[in-house]
Structure 1
């Protein structure tokens, strides 16, 4: 099997990047479809649009109504077809970004990703996560190319809700846990190859940065200031995790996240990263990783206020029907949890979910 490494064509990060980075956007086109939701547009989008126009980039604003669904993708595609655009700019969070990638792929135009939070590693990837109209995970869309430009304004992100940065840290902390399991088992990555040494180093560095700088970054975000720690964690959440998960691969943590989509109710109030966090703990148990490593993750998660028990996921450990639904969804054919073991059973996952809850309540 070949080794495969892939990444966005260009990644730019820093304070005031949404102003100072526009010359890089102009290298890709002069008429942009700007996609964002109303809230993001009001907070930063209007000013960004003015700056684009001031620097000779024409703008057509398209409102994102929320939800990376096929119906929303199709709706915006019809809007975009009526305009003479040569690039798509996705401004906002993970679902806005995923829809922007889908639109640019359909129209065969360049795509610029401008995340307004560091809550996911979606900005750098060549993947979109698609949900049903009811909000359940549906499928992934894989693209032949990565974003042409990822523009990360740390001034903007420093003013975003702290909960979103913490969610991004949780998501990114799964990168090395999952990637390591792929490397050790000789499995293929999302790039349909084996991990390169570069990808392995990036994924491992991602975890190192988060454990070393995560708490300081959260404090900076709470103060709404940009510090070296915040810059480092934003890069880890976005670039290092983005390259790491694609080029090293996913395993159990994200399958368990997908498993939660089988349920309705309060669990769906949780962020992507909060669900992945519990999935990461569950993977560490499934792999029988050393107690010291499991304890390190639990302690760090608790300092960040991330869920480490079923109660914090709004789940009842005595409701075995719900836990089995999660586990059956997580072990469906095609889920990446089978990279751990092709014969893994839903009952094993359910037992691991319960073990994490019991262990944390007893010893933490």
Structure 2
């Protein structure tokens, strides 16, 4: 890679803890005078009363806009055309955060993210995904800069369903290993530069925190009562993973979402579950030892992550299914961020080898 510039991007402010949402009024008031909440209908109904009270108390005009359907260019254009705001509050899980980012870009508005579930590491990054109406991935897009503020209310997150945190753990777990491949291959990060020591360190620490605290954090997920392990895992899933992936780069685990989202059976799986499965395929391509794979399988079982296509919703993948996944993965840009060039056949063979490993370990 000819570019020797090291680049790290990050949100202007990150705030995490029980009751953090109470700080949103002053944060938004410093950014603009008119705020718009973008979220799915459930989250919009949940947050609108509280945000109305908080924001109007500091003189900020407030409105909300529910996203119905997928994060498509047409839906985003409609939301942006129906409203006016100089600050967008993007709230929810992956869909709500992505929709809010897209609307903020369309409006040229400032951006505050307010995750209500730690299902992915999108809240800190510039990146969002456009899908079609059938949830097939269309493109990875960017807002002009990282969010102005990320507000992580762990009391809200601790009330979210457990399976959403499992997805977030999966999305965060892959970052160390994708960073290592991207940096090792001399490929650019998400800012088009080299990774800083800080970004790689964050990706590494992220995995360490998950290994130590994920099981304990999952024990309180859904209770609405965050403890210290939960706080650490939330920081890993959102802040460490977000800065780690954007500053270091992605590889096979994320490239495979192009293929996995194209099959109806696996497209329904949450993003974090898709990339967690795909990381195991990446490990096969890296020729990891049997002992290493056994350790990964044990951790996946402890937190409830998928280790096979069957656990992603595709119990009997056909040859055509595997070819579809491999072909679209091979076309994905992140596939080039690997220690060697890969063929479609190698990707298919790695998936078959993983299936055989799982059958052998189960037997």
Give the TM-score normalised by structure 1.
0.95
Partner residue in 1 for 2:271: 272
For the residues of structure 2 that align with 1:158 and 1:66, how far apart are their CA atoms? Answer: 26
Alignment pair present for 1:228 and 2:228 = yes
Among candidates 51, 55, 79, match of residue 52 of structure 1:
55
Partner residue in 1 for 2:347: 349
Q: How does 1:1-364 map to 2 (within 5 A)?
A: 1-80=4-83, 83=84, 85-264=85-264, 266-317=265-316, 319-332=318-331, 334-340=332-338, 343-364=341-362
Aligned residues: 359
Runs of 4 or more off by more than 4 Å in structure 1?
none
Structure 2: tracts of 5 or more residues without a match: none
For the residues of structure 1 that align with 2:30 and 2:313, how far apart are their CA atoms? Answer: 48
For the residues of structure 2 that align with 1:348 and 1:245, how far apart are their CA atoms? Answer: 25
For the residues of structure 1 that align with 2:90 and 2:162, how far apart are their CA atoms? Answer: 22
- Cα deviation digits, residues 210-243 of structure 1 (max 9, x gap): 1111001000114331101111111111111111
Task: Check 1:210–1:59 CA distance in 2 against 1; reply closer, same or farther (3 A cut).
Answer: same
**Secondary structure at the counterpart of residue 327 of structure 1:** helix
**Secondary structure at the counterpart of residue 243 of structure 1:** helix
Shift of 1:55: 3.5
Shift of 1:38: 1.6
For the residues of structure 2 that align with 1:4 and 1:36, how far apart are their CA atoms? Answer: 31
**Secondary structure at the counterpart of residue 105 of structure 2:** helix
Shift of 1:352: 0.8
Task: Check 1:291–1:26 CA distance in 2 against 1; reply closer, same or farther (3 A cut).
Answer: farther
Give the TM-score normalised by structure 2.
0.95
**Secondary structure at the counterpart of residue 186 of structure 1:** coil
Farther off after superposition, 237-246 or 52-61: 52-61
Shift of 1:317: 4.7
For the residues of structure 2 that align with 1:127 and 1:216, how far apart are their CA atoms? Answer: 30
For the residues of structure 2 that align with 1:318 and 1:173, how far apart are their CA atoms? Answer: 25
Structure 1: tracts of 5 or more residues without a match: none
Farther off after superposition, 229-238 or 308-317: 308-317
Shift of 1:296: 2.1
